[in-house]
Each structure stands twice: as C-alpha cells, then as structure tokens.
Amino acid sequence: MSVLRMIYLALAVWGTIHPMSWFIAWFNENGYSLAGMVEAWHANAATSGLVWDLTIAAVALTIWIIAEVWVRKNWSALIAIPATFCIGVSCGLPLYLFLRTRPVE
C-alpha cells in the first residue's frame, strides 16, 4: 500500500474517531436525542453556518462520488456516501480517496 493511501486511511479513521468522541460526549451529557443535537447545531449563527458548510460539502462529495463511480465502475467506493452522512465529511472524503486510489486490476 502506498504512503498516500495509508495517509488517506489514517485520515478516515481519525475523521471517524475524533468527531464521534465529541458526539458521544454530547449525548452522554444531554441525553440520546437526535433532535436535541440538531437543535444544538443551530445554537447560533456560527454553528448554523458550519452545519450548512458541511452539508453543502457532503452533497458535493456525494455528487462527485456518484459521477466517478458511474465512469470508473468502482462500486465499492459507494460506501463513502453513507460514511459521509452517518459519520461526517471528515470520514467520507478521505475514505473515498482511499478507495479511489487503489491499484487498478
């Protein structure tokens, strides 16, 4: 495995663990309410701006993944879409880059 692929994989793992540690801490403190978390995301203009920034980035990443999978027929790369929306762009983007840069068979 190339150094670049290892970096992408490490970033995908970090992009899963680090944000999730914050989400779990929030849930432990405030209860397991998805509606409560969404409300917290819109606590002020700065957090709302960040939510929209990440949402737009997630949509753009999804369109890119679909377009490239359509051409490259790398169907396994589609797993990056649910990773993006269930975990975050910090996981989905490096995961997709990791999957995209695998050696061609």
Residue 105 has a CB neighbour count (10 Å cut-off) of 3
Confidence of residue 1 (pLDDT cuts 50, 70, 90): confident
Mean pLDDT on 11-20 = 97
Token representation of residue 34: 């998805």
Mean pLDDT on 79-83 = 98
Predicted structure pTM score: 0.90
Give 18's contacts (C-beta < 8 A, 6+ positions apart).
Answer: 90
